[in-house]
Amino acid sequence: MAYDQELADRLRAALSTEPGVTEKAMFGGLAFLVGGSMAVAVSGKGGLMVRCDRGATEELVAADGVERMVMRGREMDGWLRVSADVVDDEDALRRWVAIGRDVARSLPAR
């Protein structure tokens, strides 16, 4: 499945004032990197992949439509799948973008 171009455009707009943002095709989707670290991506499976603080994972997955990323059969703290319907409105999208951006921004530049 190809990633959602409209959602990618919305992410691009949400990150338009953020310095050091680059885009890269990854994981069958389109990732947005801040300072060289992935912050958020439009998933080829629908919705978003969002980087988060590992310690906040449990709290964040308590929300409807949010779950831990599963890679190679293993749940990953610090990475979330957020369904498309959760980010239907711009305020919700910006909230999830900010979560990923802030974590990526806190990492050493690559």
* Close Cβ partners of 37 (under 8 Å, ≥ 6 residues apart): 51, 103, 104, 107, 110
* Structural domain range at position 61: 5-106
Can you give the CATH number for the domain in which 35 is found? 3.30.1460.30
| Proportion of the chain above pLDDT 90, given as a percent | 87
48 closest CA partner among 20, 22, 27, 34? 27
> What pLDDT digit, counting tens, does each position of 29-46 carry?
999 999 999 999 999 999
Report the domain count for the chain.
1
pLDDT of residue 1: 57
pLDDT surpassing 90 at residue 110: no
pLDDT surpassing 90 at residue 53: yes
Average pLDDT of the chain, as a whole number: 94
pLDDT of residue 109: 81
Contact between residue 67 and residue 76 where contact means Cβ atoms under 8 Å apart:
no
pTM score, whole prediction: 0.93
Contact between residue 81 and residue 43 where contact means Cβ atoms under 8 Å apart:
yes
